[in-house]
Chains A and B, each alone.
Chain A
Amino acid sequence: MFKSHYRRFIFILLVMAGAIWIVLPNNPGIHLSFLDKDFEVVQGLDLQGGLRVLLEADLPETTEIDPEQLNTAASIIEKRVNALGLTEPVVQVAGSRRILAELPGIGNPEEAVATIKETGLLEFIEISYEEVYSLAPGQRIKTDFGLDESDTTAEDTATPTPAADEEQPTPSEAEAVDPPEEKIFHTVLTGAHLKSAGVDQDQIGNFSVVLEFTEEGGDIFTDYTATHVGDILGIVLDKQLISFPQITQAIPTGIASITGNFTREESNNLAIQLNYGALPIPLKVVESKTVGPTLGQDSLQKSTTAGLAGLCVVMAFMALYYRLPGLLADLALLCYAAITFALFKSIPVTLTLPGIAGFVLSIGVAVDANVLIFERLKEELRSGRNLRTAIDLGFSRAWPSIRDSNISTLITCLILYWFGNTFGASIVKGFSITLALGVLVSLFTAITVTRTLLHIVLDNIRFAEHPRWFGI
Chain B
Amino acid sequence: MLNIVGKRYWFFALSTIVIIPGIIAIILWGLPLAIDFTGGSILEVRFDSGAPPAPADVVELYDDLGVLDPIAQSAGTTDIVVRSKLIDEATKALILEEMETRFEGPLTLLRFDSVGPSIGIEVAQQAAGAIGLAALFILLYITYAFRGVPNARRFGIAAIIAMLHDVAVVIGVEAIFGHYLGWEVDALFLTALLTVIGFSVHDSIVVFDRIRENQRRHRLLKFEQLVNHSIVQTLDRSINTQLTVMLTLLALLLFGGVTTRHFVTILLIGVFSGTYSSIFNAAPILVVWENREWRSWFRRRERAAA
Chain A residues at the B interface, C-beta cutoff of 8 Å: 46, 54, 56, 109-110, 113, 285-292, 294-295, 298-299, 302-303, 305-307, 309-311, 313-314, 317-318, 321, 353-354, 357-358, 360-361, 363-365, 367-368, 371-372, 375, 379, 397, 400-401, 404-409, 411-413, 415-416, 418-419, 422-423, 425, 427-428, 431-432, 435
Contact = CB atoms under 8 A, between A and B. Distances in A.
A114 B267 CA distance: 39
A317 B247 contact: yes
Contacts of A354: 188, 191, 260, 263
B282 interface: no
Describe B's contact surface by its main secondary structure. Answer: helix
Interface residues of B, number: 72
Contacts of B252: 303, 306-307, 310, 357, 360
B248 A407 contact: no
B195 A435 contact: yes
Contacts of A431: 191, 195
B195 A361 contact: yes
A109 B260 contact: no
Contacts of B152: none
A409 B145 contact: no
B158 to A, nearest CB: 14
Contact of A412 (B198, B244, B259): B198
Nearest to A416: B194
Which 10 pairs from chain A and chain B are nearest by CB? A412-B198, A302-B257, A310-B251, A401-B209, A364-B245, A286-B116, A310-B248, A306-B255, A290-B112, A419-B130
A27 B210 CA distance: 46
B115 interface: yes
Contact of B257 (A285, A299, A371, A400): A299
Given A290-B112, A306-B254, A357-B263, A411 B248 contact: no
A353 B209 contact: no
Nearest to A109: B89
Given A306-B257, A412-B134, A427-B188, 15 more contacts: A56-B116, A289-B114, A292-B108, A292-B109, A302-B257, A303-B256, A364-B241, A367-B241, A404-B141, A404-B205, A405-B205, A408-B202, A411-B134, A412-B138, A432-B191
Nearest to A312: B251
29 contacts: A109-B89, A110-B89, A110-B92, A287-B119, A288-B112, A288-B114, A289-B113, A294-B110, A295-B111, A298-B257, A299-B260, A306-B251, A309-B254, A310-B251, A353-B259, A364-B245, A375-B240, A379-B233, A400-B209, A400-B212, A401-B209, A401-B210, A404-B142, A408-B201, A411-B137, A411-B141, A416-B130, A419-B130, A431-B195
Contacts, number: 219
A401 B119 contact: no
Contact of B123 (A46, A360, A423): A423
Contact of B130 (A286, A294, A372, A415): A415
Contact of A361 (B44, B187, B194, B248): B248
A61 to B, nearest CB: 8
A110 B241 contact: no
Contacts of B267: 357, 361
Contacts of B114: 287-289
Given A299-B259, A309-B255, A371 B241 contact: yes
Contacts of B256: 302-303, 306, 357
A90 to B, nearest CB: 17
Contact of A405 (B112, B202, B233): B202
Nearest to A425: B187
B303 interface: no
Among the interface residues A405, A432, A435, which one has the most CB atoms of the partner chain B within 10 A?
A405
A329 B63 CA distance: 60
B115 to A, nearest CB: 5
A414 to B, nearest CB: 8
Contact of A404 (B88, B130, B209): B209
